[in-house]
Every structure is written in C-alpha cells, then in structure tokens.
Copies of this chain bind each other. A is one copy, B any other.
C-alpha cells in the first residue's frame, strides 16, 4: 500500500511516497512558487502513484480545526500569494482519498514520536522546535497534537534578555525581540553582518543564542513537562545543543528532574530532515484507519 507525504515549506516542497512501514519509495522536491503552480506540481507528482491516503505538513499559519469553514487553508501568512490558500480543497479535487492536514513542525514532531515508539524510547509527549529562517514548534501528547484554539506559535514567546544583547532589538516584524526575533537564522546577519555559517561557534553570539534557546526549552519544560525536546533546523548542531544544555541546566537549577539531559534535549532521531516525511506517512495511515 502506498501513502503520500507533502512537506510544504516556504522555500521548497518535498513530496514523497512511502509504504505502511513508513519506508520512502520515491521522493522529489521543487521550489515553492505560486500556489497554483506549486499545488499543480504536487498533484502531477502523486498522479504517478496509486496512493491510498495523504498527509500534508505545511508552513503556516494554517487552519486545522476541522469544524472551521477555513479548515485546510493556509490563512494569513505574510508569504506573497499564499494567504487564504485552500490547500486541502485543491488536493481533494484531484484525489478523493483520506487526507491529514497539520503544520510542518507538527509533522516533524509526529515523525519523531513515531520513531520513539519504534526504538522503544517510550516518549509519550515531546516538543519539536525548528530554528531556521523562522522559529516554530509542534507538540505531541499521548499521540495527539497540542492546541485547542489552533496550532502552537511557540516561536513568538518573550524571553529574559541576555545582558550582552540588550542593544539588539530583534527582527520579528510582529514582536521585535520574541524568540524568533532573537534566534532565527537571519539574526546572525542582523547582529554580526555575516551569515551564521561564517560565525564560528567560539563567537560569543552563540552563547547568547544558546541562552535564549535554553529559555525556550525551560518554558516548555515547566509548562508541559514533556518527555523530550527536539531541536532541528539549519541553526542547530550538536555542538550548539551542548551550549544549550549547559545554559538550560543553570536556569533550571535542578528544580525538576528531566532525566538524562543528553536524551532530553536532542537533535532529531530521523536524519536528513526526514522527520516530517515519516510523520506524514504515519498520519496518512492513521487517517486511513480512522
């Protein structure tokens, strides 16, 4: 049996076909252009296969409350041309099959959750952050997604400012110095004039970044008490997470027990940005069996 996965990012789409054991059989990617063109490419791709169900993990914000008239839409995104796009409606016209619809980070979170069940890690709740062009996060509790009023927007929480960073106003157009405004990839350019790739980990700016990311981890720890917090995205590396764990430890001050910190704050278990694709296969299967 074949299942479809769409990871709809603001820069590129990754479409894949897999089986009920979540093995990828085929995968393509193409740039995100206009909705009409990009969704048509998506439809053309899946027309080659006899897929039984499909899951889409999309950039947002999106409407995912099933009782809302705009369910299946990308809503008020600032991305040109994409606001108010009926994503699922367009796909449903081409394929009359069960479809699941969630955010990109929820898809990744679900993939990591499924992987934890396969590896017997037995995590019942986890948070998946991506730190790249923007900052987003999805959360799973007992196999379900968090969010009654809509999906989380954890990238926009406020944080205690680092004493050596008080002059930086942040780059979020909505909130200035929220988490995204302080640690998204483009903050390197804004702070140092250089892209992140050219800033060595010995640079103090990485300590400042780690301080903020550690606070994000601290917030979800104290609010949700999840089993695990995963960080993905272009800004994240294992050496950077070492710094994050150290700052997290100092901030938490042993107040609650999170188990082994190297397991608790970790990179994705699924490599090569594959978390959302695997998550989509599992969600498509779940939707088919619902």
User: Which residues of B are found within 8 Å of A177, using beta-carbon distances?
Assistant: 160
Closest-CB distance, A233 to chain B (whole angstroms)? 18
Q: Give the complex CA separation of A227 and B253 in angstroms.
A: 31
Chain B residues near A156 (CB-CB < 8 A): 222, 255
Known: A174-B255, A251-B175. A219 touches B148 (CB 8 A): no
User: How far apart are the CA atoms of A174 and B253 in the complex, in Å?
Assistant: 7
Cβ of A1 within 8 Å of any chain B Cβ, yes or no, is no
Q: Are A148 and B225 in contact (CB under 8 A)?
A: yes
Is there a chain B Cβ closer than 8 Å to A224's Cβ?
yes
In contact, B255 and A222 (Cβ under 8 angstroms): no
Question: A205 — which chain B residues lie within 8 A by C-beta?
Answer: none
Please choose the segment from A8-16, A79-87, A256-264 that sits at the chain B interface, where 4 or more of its residues have CB less than 8 A away. Answer: A256-264
Q: Which residues of B contact A255 (CB under 8 A)?
A: 153, 156, 174-175
A91, CB-defined interface residue at 8 Å? no
Docked CA distance A142–B145 (Å): 12
Q: Copies per complex?
A: 2
Task: Say whether, besides A148-B227, A159-B160, A154 and B259 are in contact (CB < 8 Å).
Answer: no
Name the residue among A154, A175, A224 with the largest chain B CB count within 10 angstroms.
A224
Q: Does A146 contact B (CB under 8 A)?
A: yes
Complex CA gap A28/B123 in Å reads 42
A255 smallest CB distance to B (angstroms): 6
Q: Secondary structure of the A side of the interface? A: loop
CB-defined contacts of A125 to chain B, threshold 8 Å = 148
- Docked-complex contact B220 and A146, CB < 8 angstroms: no
Contacts known (A150-B256, A157-B218, A218-B158); A224 close to B224, Cβ less than 8 A: yes
Q: For A151, give its contact among B149, B154, B225, B226 (CB under 8 Å).
A: B225
CA distance A146 to B255 in the complex (A): 18
A223: which of B159, B220, B259 is its contact (CB, 8 Å)? B220
Closest B residue to A226 by beta carbon equals: B148
Interchain residue pairs with CB less than 8 A apart (29): A123-B148, A139-B223, A141-B141, A146-B225, A148-B226, A148-B227, A149-B227, A149-B257, A150-B225, A150-B257, A152-B223, A152-B225, A153-B222, A153-B225, A156-B255, A157-B218, A157-B219, A157-B222, A158-B160, A158-B215, A158-B218, A158-B251, A159-B159, A159-B160, A160-B161, A161-B161, A174-B255, A175-B255, A223-B223
